[in-house]
Structure 1
Amino acid sequence: MNINTLKNLKDFKLTLKLARAVSTARALYKFSMLWKWQRFIVSMVLLGLVQLSMGQKKPVDYVNPFIGTTNYGTTNPGAQVPQGLMNVSPFNVMGSSLNKSDKDEGWWSTPYEYNNKFFTGFSHVNLSGVGCPDMGSLLLMPTTGELQVDYKKYGSTYSNENASAGYYTNQLDKYHVKTEATATQRTGISRFTFPKGKSHILLNLGEGLTNETGATMRFVNDREIEGSKLLGSFCYVNNQAVYPLYFVMRLSKKPIQKGYWKFQRQGAPWENEWNKDAGKYKLFTAYQNEMSGDDIGAYLSFETAENEQIEVQVGVSFVSIENARQNLEHEQPQGGFDQIRVAAHKRWNEDLSKIEVEGGSEDQKTVFYTALYHALIHPNILQDVNGQYPAMESRETRHTDGNRYTVFSLWDTYRNVQPLMSLLFPDRQTEMIRSMIDIYKESGWMPKWELYGRESYTMDGDPAIPVIVDAWMKGIRDYDHEAAYEAFYKSATRVDSANKIRPDNADYVKYGYVPLREPFDNSVSHAIEYYLADWNLAQFAASLDKKEDAKLFTERAKGYKHYYSKEYGTFRPILPDGTFLTPFDPLQGANFEPNHGFHEGNAWNYSFAIPHDIPGLMKLMGGKRKFVEKLQETFDKGYFDVTNEPDMLYPHIFSEIEGEEWRTQKLVTEILNKYFTNAPGGIPGNDDTGTMSTWASMNMIGIYPLCPGRPEYTIVTPVFDKVTIHLDAKYHHGKDKLVIRRERLGQDGYIKSISVDGKKNKGFKVSHHELVNTDEIVVATGSR
């Protein structure tokens, strides 16, 4: 083999190696390109799934805290957690752009009104949806530039406003300061982002919504202030119902200067009258000891860098300053605004996820979850982290191992909020009932409209009875029921002036009705509430085998018949001599004008409010046909008041009458669509501590409790295609969820059939026992 042959052979081998290498390289290249595409496809799929997951809203994401903040809804967009004591709300109803310098001029019973744009600080501990002013104190305000302590001058318009469950923020136009607020159960935290220059944080104890005056404060050190503020006299009914709120405030930065201010009126105390509108604010720049007065505040001044943030923590207690500090140290040991905000958001989502809905529009989901959010604000806890709370009326410090609840607006909430709690949170309902019974043991009477350990005696009736009896009839019984019955029997039978729950019980027991003894004494409204309470008490007595009591209260509950006037076809006040009031206008009382015998309504708003005896009322009014025509007339002539508790059950009464159930379905759908919207005015009046919102939320899922004490629900047209209600297995026989499904057989929303676990349901009701032991309820809807 010559050299050339060898050379050719080497070239061939080299060529072969190169060919193999190229082939391998091509193969690797092709594989790598294929893998690139596979990785790209996989990554895109994963990204899409992540984006889809991120895009799927959680229940908490649907909450719009601005719903109900105008149109007299009196909710606020402040930060809080479910059933929390603390609410941190923007305060814009003093010195506002609407030229309201005094809360009573505009009937302000809320710290915030959507159409106002004049921020004077964050108020701490606020009420939601009420019709009388109280609370709304401890105003915290950031400012810049020259120090100003007059709220009418230091207030600012604002923009970039936003709120979600547990969080609020805006931008102060005057100062270019970003404000933010969030909360824990008993504490609030605000964060202010300042521009460069001289900045201030003001704590105003003079302004607020309460009807009481007086406060005390002192600097503990450069970063801490402690003190108390007097609150109370809610609705002015009981002017003795006052109480102190204790607080501790902490700063994340040491101020370069601090001091107090105090408003001093012109004139002298010994003169006959002060000029209440004239005076001046006096600054105390050197005095650092305790400061007291009706209109006082503290200022803290800083030099801030551009976008520097200062956090302010506020802990509160209704027991003592020491407890307020302990609450703050336990719930905010190191502050940390963002962590607290995330925790509040999480807590809301956990509670709101008790009901999951599918179908419906985005607006409908927003209305629903915001309504549920509003229902979980009151009643709220009262006790501190150490379990201490102020005993009812005496204010003696007591201790509880569980939750002690307060803000029992029972005339409102017995109708639906408390029944909703029995369904979704029976453990909390149990503790609420225990709190009510403890209130009786501490004060001698059940709560009526209790507020932070004092009784306001606002509104009518004996509303604790239907709350507890309704829960009892639904199997929620882990409390001292004998004490509850003792309390109920006492208020129902005591006929002297010491009866604080039924002040006109002597007449009621003697005559079976309450005669009109003063021109505007709400006598008919009182009696109508007593009838429902006595019917509930009869159910309770029968359950406890107290047969004679059951018979007594059953007969009393029929006394509504005394008030029926054939001449007008409505209830009518009765005079002390037993005759009807003459002249009489059944429409008098609309729009809250003074009225004879009726409270916040007229004869039309009360004449069908007898849910415990619809058959008896129907017979009284002339039979089925006349009854249906008369009830329908309330809607056709615009007499129905959607904002009024006594007649909020009217649409559901038609479901008590065979063949007329379609009217309920039609009316409920119309009312929901017209009055409950995703807008600031989306609640048609006072939310009444969640009562109006609960009317909407329960009807939207397809069930509504017509009569407290009767453990059943009226089935109405669900708004959503699927509703999953997560149950507490401990209270609901091991069941952990139920599903309500809507099957659409046409465009219309009339119910054509109802099946419970595959079996056709008779009628348009479902018992509580059946509901919580059911896997699925299917409501088929279509044309009538």
Structure 2
Amino acid sequence: MKTLFFGLLLASTSALAGNSQHVNPFIGTSNFGATHPGAQYPNALASVSPFNVAYGDTLNKFEKDAAWNSRVYIHENGYLTGFSHLNLSGVGCPEAGVMLLMPTTGKLNLDAREYGSTYSQEQASPGYYSSMLDKYQVKAALTSTLRSGLSRFTFPAGQSHILLNLGLGLTNESGGSLKVVSEQEVEGSRMLGTFCYNPEDVRPVYFVARFSKAAAEFGAWKKMPKYQNVEADWIHYNDSIKPYPGFRQTLSGDDIGAWFSFDTSANEAIEVKLGISFVSIENARANLDAEQPGFDFAKTRQAAVDAWDKLLDRVEVEGTDTNKTLFYTALYHSLIHPNILQDINGDYPLMGQQGMGNSKRNRYTVYSLWDTNRNLHPLLSLLYPELQSDMLNSAVAMAAESGWLPKWELYGMETQVMVGDPATPMLADSYLRGIRDFDIRSAYQAMVRAAEQRQNNLLRPENADYLDLGYVPVDDEGPYDGSVSTSLEYYLADFNLAQLAGALGKTEDQQKYLSHAMNYRKLFDASTGMLRPKNRSGQWLTPYDPELGRNFEPAPGYIEGNAWNYRFYVPHDTLGLIELLGGQNNFLNALDATFDTGNFDMANEPDITYPFLYNYLDNQGWRTSLRVKQLIAEHYGNHPAGLPGNDDTGTMSAWLAFAMMGIYPVSPGVMDYALFEPSFDKITVHLNSDYYPGGSLVIESRKKNKSSNTNAQIKFQQKDLEQPFLSHQALVNGGRLVFQ
């Protein structure tokens, strides 16, 4: 059985002095959370993670039967086939998980089905992972920088090997190349792409790996398919692995690798550092040389810890150790993506085209915006506006290079996954919150193009119908298009565009896009109280089952959910929706029914704002506090299954961070936070003075009976608040928010 060590237990073995000591990287490694416990630097391109989702009798039944796997590591599995150096966190489709290093001993074996090992004594903390490979009694310890990983393998006496496998990975693409440069260095590339099985561009990632000790022997291998003639049809029969001892030329293929063999003494440690680049091998080598000029595991690990503490210490909390672990792990997961893409010299691959760009500031990638525009980017805007600023600049640069703002961008490729126009809310919301050091003129032009172009619109492919009818009709949708879902995302984007237009003094645009945003009323069906699919001629979809889609089965009108999940998804006009539903009592009953009938889905984005909608009802704010506490207790915890499901590049973690602070952004483009009882006695947010003048924001909970069903008295700067809302502008001016 694997044993896990994390957080405070590691304090004695490393310099975990700041809030990184409260992080448990194993949270989310079960229950489809899709996080990994590997060595991670904040917002880094590279990370080093254990890879345990290939082969072995310890794979759970789902993973054996399913072709779809978006995780390099699953807690329940126990068969390790290496440590990957390019990894995604909390993503729902397979990609990356490539460039695996694996230490072995004894007779050289190049078949991953056989050379894998069970493992034990796992430890993980920010910037560090270690485990014991049981078959070989080799201790593996990992750490990383922004663009490189460092692995330290401690061997027993005898013949030892380090394997580099370019065949294994999560990506749907195959193919790579490598060249053994010397007894201590290997270089090459690995293909990526076809994210979520969409036929977007493929792209190579380049690497250089360097060893702390020269190998006594080395070579490369290639898996060679064998074929059998069956009645003149050549079919694949089995595979064999062909070794090339001492091979120093470039080797290419779909399933290749290299090995380095050593004669080791007892407890001898050999280190391997591997740098990556999306531009070239030369840049990968430059990244490695700049970030790890030597082999210094302790120094490299400490630099990662310091980087995490610098960010996590931005918020100080007073409360139980368990709540601290949940909160700081949520912040940790919120600071992995988006991540940098540029090399140490500023080079990066251009968006949507061949070629290379160069940036003097951080260029970001991995924009899962359908998820993250709702809360992760508002969280970054509040706590880390300097990071959000670079992310905004990167998004605008993508539009300049490709013609379009990102939708679901990955390593400079637009995957077009999910629906809507989510970059518009992200950019507009950030600008309204006060982050304005980006090219707003170019950003606005790109947003308007998405809102106005009728044909061949990459962000809004249904825009012609939307502009003509005021909604996307159900007539021509595919099984996962979701006409209602798509319409609602367009309405939210248009609302944000209207708010931005108003801030920029573009009054006519403001009125036009606000009018578009209010067209959600055309999809409101008074007979069911639902936002219901409608065809091109204006007739409701019939027959109609509001619960269809509850288990992620295809449901006409909705994507990743059912009608209940989308029932209140007009966060920009909740008061208007209350009127449509017949007033506050009817709205309260409908909102309660969503939770009580099991139609609320904590693991998916459209309805995660619903617990905070009670704040819009007179004297019902206590229900928000109660629902939030219930949801945290039910879906979050200090254990591997401690996320409600896929983290969606930090979205579920951002929800928890806000929820525990007692504030939540009700909608992109709306500057009010819903207020409710926090999970801590005291929270101190140290505001970035380059963006916000307040110095610090203090949130205190002085309510004696925290479980009572009564509204807390809320004071800000010693003044009673009439409504349980407070604006972003007020919060970033600093002060004291008290619940009593």
Band of TM-score, shorter chain: over 0.9
> Which of the residues 97, 107, 131 maps onto 2:68?
107
Partner residue in 2 for 1:198:
159
Q: What are the within-5 Å matches in structure 2 for residues 190-339 of structure 1?
A: 190-237=151-198, 239-267=199-227, 275-276=235-236, 278-339=238-299
- Label 1:738 to 1:136 Cα distance change in 2 as closer, same or farther (>3 A): same
> Which of the residues 116, 123, 138 maps onto 1:155?
116
> Are 1:601 and 2:565 an aligned pair?
no
**Contact conserved, 2:102 with 2:164, CA < 8 A, in 1?**
yes
Partner residue in 2 for 1:512:
470
SS in 2 for 1:655: helix
CA distance in 1, matches of 2:602, 2:60: 30
CA distance in 2, matches of 1:696, 1:531: 26
Q: What are the within-5 Å matches in structure 2 for residues 460-471 of structure 1?
A: 460-471=419-430
SS in 2 for 1:605: coil
- Label 1:269 to 1:209 Cα distance change in 2 as closer, same or farther (>3 A): farther
Report deviation, 1:775: 2.0
Aligned AA (2:700): R
SS in 2 for 1:604: coil
The structure that is helix-richer by fraction is 1
CA distance in 2, matches of 1:584, 1:272: 52
**Contact conserved, 1:519 with 1:597, CA < 8 A, in 2?**
no
Partner residue in 2 for 1:67:
27
> Which of the residues 521, 525, 533 maps onto 1:565?
525
Aligned AA (1:368): F
> Which of the residues 31, 54, 76 maps onto 1:94?
54
Report deviation, 1:606: 0.5
**Contact conserved, 2:15 with 2:305, CA < 8 A, in 1?**
no
Segment of structure 1 superposing worse, 516-525 or 325-334: 516-525
SS in 1 for 2:673: strand
Aligned AA (1:511): L
Partner residue in 2 for 1:477:
436
- Label 1:524 to 1:271 Cα distance change in 2 as closer, same or farther (>3 A): farther
CA distance in 2, matches of 1:273, 1:122: 39
- Label 1:272 to 1:133 Cα distance change in 2 as closer, same or farther (>3 A): farther
Segment of structure 1 superposing worse, 504-513 or 272-281: 272-281
Report deviation, 1:272: 8.0
- Label 1:579 to 1:61 Cα distance change in 2 as closer, same or farther (>3 A): same
Partner residue in 2 for 1:452:
411
SS in 2 for 1:89: strand
Partner residue in 2 for 1:40:
none
CA distance in 2, matches of 1:118, 1:101: 15
> Are 1:117 and 2:78 an aligned pair?
yes
Partner residue in 1 for 2:388:
429
Partner residue in 2 for 1:736:
695
CA distance in 1, matches of 2:536, 2:434: 42
Partner residue in 2 for 1:698:
658
> Which of the residues 714, 718, 727 maps onto 2:678?
718
Report deviation, 1:107: 2.9
**Contact conserved, 2:228 with 2:236, CA < 8 A, in 1?**
no
Q: What are the within-5 Å matches in structure 2 for residues 550-629 of structure 1?
A: 550-629=510-589
CA distance in 2, matches of 1:492, 1:660: 37
CA distance in 2, matches of 1:760, 1:383: 48
Aligned AA (1:536): N
Aligned AA (1:195): P
**Contact conserved, 1:95 with 1:101, CA < 8 A, in 2?**
no
Partner residue in 1 for 2:300:
340
Q: What per-residue deviation string (whole Å, max 9, x for no partner) do you get for residues 258-297 of structure 1?
A: 1111111112899986644612111111432110000000
Aligned AA (2:98): S
SS in 1 for 2:511: helix
Partner residue in 1 for 2:3:
none
- Label 1:677 to 1:257 Cα distance change in 2 as closer, same or farther (>3 A): same
Partner residue in 1 for 2:362:
403
CA distance in 1, matches of 2:232, 2:345: 48
Q: How many residues align?
A: 725
- Label 1:118 to 1:258 Cα distance change in 2 as closer, same or farther (>3 A): same
CA distance in 1, matches of 2:228, 2:404: 44
Report deviation, 1:774: 2.6
RMSD, aligned α-carbons: 1.9
SS in 2 for 1:161: strand
Aligned AA (2:581): M
Partner residue in 1 for 2:324:
365
TM-score normalised by structure 2 residue count: 0.96
Report deviation, 1:567: 2.8
Aligned AA (1:399): N
Note the residue ranges of structure 1 that are not aligned, 5 or more in a row.
Answer: 1-50
CA distance in 1, matches of 2:170, 2:232: 27
CA distance in 2, matches of 1:102, 1:630: 38
CA distance in 2, matches of 1:355, 1:581: 49
**Contact conserved, 1:78 with 1:88, CA < 8 A, in 2?**
yes
Report deviation, 1:209: 0.3
SS in 2 for 1:608: coil
CA distance in 2, matches of 1:737, 1:542: 29
Partner residue in 2 for 1:758:
718
Aligned AA (2:86): V
Q: What are the within-5 Å matches in structure 2 for residues 535-550 of structure 1?
A: 535-550=495-510
**Contact conserved, 1:714 with 1:764, CA < 8 A, in 2?**
yes
Partner residue in 2 for 1:418:
377
Report deviation, 1:566: 2.5
- Label 1:170 to 1:263 Cα distance change in 2 as closer, same or farther (>3 A): same
SS in 2 for 1:435: helix
**Contact conserved, 1:355 with 1:726, CA < 8 A, in 2?**
yes
Q: What per-residue deviation string (whole Å, max 9, x for no partner) do you get for residues 287-308 of structure 1?
A: 3211000000001111110000
Which runs of at least 4 in structure 1 moved beyond 4 Å after TM superposition?
54-57, 99-104, 268-277
CA distance in 2, matches of 1:681, 1:88: 21
Partner residue in 2 for 1:645:
605
**Contact conserved, 1:94 with 1:100, CA < 8 A, in 2?**
no
CA distance in 1, matches of 2:67, 2:246: 39
CA distance in 2, matches of 1:717, 1:519: 43
> Which of the residues 443, 448, 458 maps onto 1:500?
458
**Contact conserved, 2:208 with 2:276, CA < 8 A, in 1?**
yes
- Label 1:626 to 1:100 Cα distance change in 2 as closer, same or farther (>3 A): closer
CA distance in 2, matches of 1:334, 1:270: 55
CA distance in 2, matches of 1:271, 1:259: 38
CA distance in 1, matches of 2:283, 2:727: 45
**Contact conserved, 2:334 with 2:650, CA < 8 A, in 1?**
yes
**Contact conserved, 1:137 with 1:207, CA < 8 A, in 2?**
yes
Partner residue in 1 for 2:90:
129
CA distance in 2, matches of 1:676, 1:574: 37
> Which of the residues 508, 533, 538 maps onto 2:493?
533
**Contact conserved, 1:590 with 1:602, CA < 8 A, in 2?**
yes
**Contact conserved, 1:524 with 1:573, CA < 8 A, in 2?**
yes
Report deviation, 1:68: 0.3
Q: What per-residue deviation string (whole Å, max 9, x for no partner) do you get for residues 59-109 of structure 1?
A: 110100000000010000011111111111000001031267988826310
Segment of structure 1 superposing worse, 513-522 or 60-69: 513-522
Segment of structure 1 superposing worse, 591-600 or 372-381: 591-600
- Label 1:278 to 1:548 Cα distance change in 2 as closer, same or farther (>3 A): same
TM-score normalised by structure 1 residue count: 0.90
CA distance in 2, matches of 1:500, 1:450: 12
Identity of matched residues, %? 49
**Contact conserved, 2:60 with 2:76, CA < 8 A, in 1?**
no
